[in-house]
């Protein structure tokens, strides 16, 4: 049994199992580790030229490889009499009816299956998830009157950062209360301004006490 291709990283265990089972049956193995038998799965230029002579395609769409590889293939296709069309990721190519041309572009990128939905790997959802993984999350609930004066102590919920009975949570709440009390009256009367200022204050307190930058949120309730 000749294994002329190299092992793609990540498949070592599965291929090793197949090879072990073959040897158990008395098969002699030949791999690129023992013999100069490796061959590429990609055709060379002469092989591509022969393919173009046989098929005679009017249009060629190079695929697979970096842009430099696609460009080289396009030049070879043009030499063989085909009209090359180079595509970027997401390009939509019209094959029929009418002209063969790029007519539109679709959103592309790496997606993550999150439960029953697909979300961008580099989007805000996964960025927040990674931040929570390493730095945790903290949510503060703050009750204020119409003038923005505190009504009671802020409530801090920080799973992954504090246990329910951790006194540090109370100290964070006290420092947050002090920061809110020091805000200008005009800022405390505006819900949006108060929420953003409280978030900033909560980040600073947690950063100073825990040396972390968790994802934070603040719920402001007017009473």
Residue 80 above 90 pLDDT?
A: yes
Domain ranges of the chain: 2-31, 45-105, 119-222
pLDDT given at position 46: 93
- Pinpoint the alpha helices (H) of the chain: 12-24, 45-55, 67-79, 124-135, 167-181, 185-189, 191-210
CA dist 106 and 89 (Å) reads: 8
Q: Could you report the per-residue pLDDT of 100-140, keeping only the tens digit for each?
A: 999 999 888 888 888 898 888 888 888 888 888 899 999 99
Residue in the structure block whose two tokens are 């819900």: 191
What burial class does residue 148 get, using C-beta atoms within 10 Å of its C-beta: 0-12 exposed, 13-18 middle, 19+ buried? buried
Q: Could you report the per-residue pLDDT of 50-77, keeping only the tens digit for each?
A: 999 999 999 999 998 899 999 999 999 9
Q: Could you report the per-residue pLDDT of 32-43, keeping only the tens digit for each?
A: 888 888 877 788
Q: Could you report the per-residue pLDDT of 149-159, keeping only the tens digit for each?
A: 999 999 999 98
Confidence of residue 20 (pLDDT cuts 50, 70, 90): very high
CATH architecture of the domain with residue range 119-222: Roll (3.10)
Confidence of residue 13 (pLDDT cuts 50, 70, 90): very high
pLDDT given at position 124: 86
């Amino acid at each position: 049994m000749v294994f002329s291709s190299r092992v793609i990283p990540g498949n070592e265990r599965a291929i090793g199992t197949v090879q072990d089972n073959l040897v158990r049956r008395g098969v002699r193995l030949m791999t690129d580790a023992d013999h100069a038998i490796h061959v590429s799965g990609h055709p060379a230029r002469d092989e591509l030229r022969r393919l173009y002579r046989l098929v005679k395609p009017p249009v060629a769409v190079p695929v697979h490889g970096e842009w430099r590889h696609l460009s080289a293939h396009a030049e070879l296709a043009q030499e063989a009499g085909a009209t090359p069309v180079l595509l970027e990721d997401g390009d939509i190519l019209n094959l029929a009816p009418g002209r063969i041309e790029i007519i539109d572009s679709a959103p592309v990128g790496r997606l993550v299956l999150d439960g029953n939905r697909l979300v961008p790997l580099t989007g805000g959802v996964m960025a927040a998830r990674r931040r929570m993984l390493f730095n945790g999350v903290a949510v503060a609930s703050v009750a204020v009157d119409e003038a923005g004066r505190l009504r009671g102590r802020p409530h801090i919920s920080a799973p992954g950062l504090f246990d329910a009975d951790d006194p540090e949570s109370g100290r964070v709440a006290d420092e947050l209360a002090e920061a809110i009390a020091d805000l200008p009256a005009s800022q405390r009367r505006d819900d949006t301004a108060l929420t953003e200022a409280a978030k900033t204050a909560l980040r600073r307190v947690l950063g100073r006490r825990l040396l972390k930058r968790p994802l934070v949120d603040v719920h402001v309730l007017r009473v």
